[in-house]
Structure 1
Amino acid sequence: MSLFATFLGALKYEFRMQVRRPWLWITMGLIQLIILGFMFRTPGVLTMIQHLKGAPIVATTAYWTNIVNYLLPVAVAILIADRLPRDKRTRVQEILTTLPGSAAGRLWGKYLGSTLATLLPILIFYILGILVIFVQTLNAYVFLVAIATFATIILPGMLLVGAAAIAIPALIWVPLFQFLFVGYWFWGNLYKPHGIPTLSDTILTPAGGYMSRGFFGVTVFPVDRASAGQGLLSMLVLLGLAALIMLALNGYQQWQLRHQ
């Protein structure tokens, strides 16, 4: 079986299995309700939503993209973290190693399949917000901007989060990773630098602040200034780190197989 066929089969299987998990939709739905609750409890937000017609369409769309990316990556990491440990616990990994096909293809398929499935409820939530903007503005340009903001602000960071959530629990206890990731997200993405060192104002933050500020001129994250070049660099670094993590995980699994 070719590497691509193995990869595609694993991707389809992981996507179907992850998207059918009730906890995926329950967890995402609860966090989305929390996000909406905070939004509507903030003074002036409801009035602003009702008067979007006079607001810049690019800035409005970018702000909505930032809001979607504010807390939901935490849910992505938590929901993906058990993928490899579950296979090991149920002995599925042992069965897979005896089957023909590329182990690397299976690993990359597992990573992308589970990550894309976990992104599906986020995408639906995002599209609903874009539809609200369209209804208020009647400007179809919002759909083109939405594709650009999702692809540049949300997707690179989510791919890095997915890679970390697949790889790190192969080394440490899953609940410990989930606890540490929640702390990391608030410290390394949402915390405005003030006395305590943080990654939140660097190109390493997967929240997408550099891409949002550099490409679209606005962000809710603690990135005060960023050029388009810095936004592009941040995006490439995030994607590169995701690839490096998965390559390292594949090497680690191969090392484990050789020493069994």
Structure 2
Amino acid sequence: MMLRKRSMWITNAVIVLLLVLLNVSGWGDALRDPDARNTVASTVFLMNLMLPVGYGSLLADRLIRDSRLGVAPILDATPASPTGRLAGKYLGTCAAAAVPLAVILFGFAAVYSVTAGRPVALAWAALAYAVVVLPAVLFVGAFALTVPLVMPAPLFRVLFVGYWFWGNGISPAVMPTTTQSVLSPAGVYSNQELVGLRDFTLAGPVPGATLNFLRPEATPATAWLSVGVLLAVAALALGVAQTLRTRTTR
């Protein structure tokens, strides 16, 4: 159902359009850049910095709507286990969020492959999608399902937008933040070390910044560590969601 919601596609399209309009000449240069690896990595960085704000907000009512629509008791009476239904809801909503992102990323990679004559960009896009985009979707999706169980969905959306830019966009030199850390769902370690962004430093310790214990030196190993940490935190959030739902139905 989420894939058929026009709001999902419109929200992503509006954000992408704004990104293009803010730097039209820069995108034109990117489409001619012979460095396919860095071009894809730069594009994924912008995608993962901005698009989660949209799909994270849209996913916020996916779990609580069953109770609001009065179908939760019916679902509870079915043979499917609560854990299985939660997993299905989670994977379904994450898949719905991931499909438009795939269209955007692979669409860009296809256009770039033609304009720059670098079809290898499609392979780099596949890697970036797997290690940068999908972990962010799974992380955001877990919290978008869980947190609205303890607060109104509109409040979650407001707080989520604030958290996203605090935890992924603010420099650690300015204030305590998880930016450039293994806890950054923007996938900074994996984008820098596995995909290969070279324009600027995304991950690693910042001199004088707080929370530097969350910013080990950026290496392929710490990039995989970051992916694992994000998935583990997402699993923990889903465990909390299952506990909250179990207590509610008793």
TM-score by length of 1: 0.86
Unaligned runs of 5+ in 2: 205-216
Unaligned runs of 5+ in 1: 1-16
- Say yes or no: does 1:254 pair with 2:233: no
Query: Does the alignment pair 1:172 with 2:189?
Result: no
Q: How many correspondences in the alignment? A: 237
| Equivalent of residue 241 in structure 1, options 214, 225, 233 | 233
Taking the TM superposition and a 5 Å limit, the aligned residue runs for 1:55-66 are: 55-66=34-45
Instruction: Give the Å deviation of 1:39.
Output: 2.9
Instruction: Quote the offset at 1:110 in angstroms.
Output: 0.5
CA–CA separation in structure 2 for the residues paired with 1:57 and 1:69? 18
Percent identity over paired residues:
34
Query: How do residues 32-181 of structure 1 correspond to structure 2 at under 5 angstroms?
Result: 32-40=16-24, 44-52=25-33, 55-181=34-160
Question: Whole-Å Cα distance in 2 between the matches of residues 149 and 56 of structure 1?
Answer: 15
Equivalence for 1:8: none
Partner residue in 2 for 1:231: 223
Displacement of 1:165 in angstroms is 0.2
**Contact (CA 8 Å) 1:58, 1:216: kept in 2 or not?**
yes
Query: 1:98: Cα distance to partner?
Result: 1.4
Greater fraction helix: 1
Structure 1 residues 115, 178: CA separation in 2 closer, same or farther (over 3 Å shift)?
same
Alignment-derived partner of residue 30 in structure 1: 14
Write out per-residue CA displacement over residues 167-203 of structure 1, whole angstroms, 9 at most, x where no aligned residue: 1001111011000000011110011112310011210
**One-letter code aligned to 1:20:** R
- AA paired with 2:2? Q
Q: Deviations over 1:125-163 (max 9, x none)?
A: 111110121012323222211111110111111100000
Contact kept, 8 Å, 1:153 with 1:212, in 2: the verdict is: yes
| Paired residue type of 1:30 | V
Whether contact under 8 Å (1:160, 1:241) holds in the other structure is yes
Cα distance, 1:47–1:228 mapped onto 2, change above 3 Å = same
CA distance in 1, matches of 2:247, 2:36: 51
Supply the distance in 2 between the matched residues of 1:46 and 1:95 (Cα, whole angstroms). Answer: 50
Structure scoring higher RCO (CA < 8 A, sep ≥ 6) equals 1
Which residue of structure 2 lines up, in the alignment, with residue 4 of structure 1? none
Q: Where has structure 1 moved over 3 Å in runs of 4 or more?
A: 219-222
Q: Is the 8 A contact 1:159 1:242 kept in 2?
A: yes
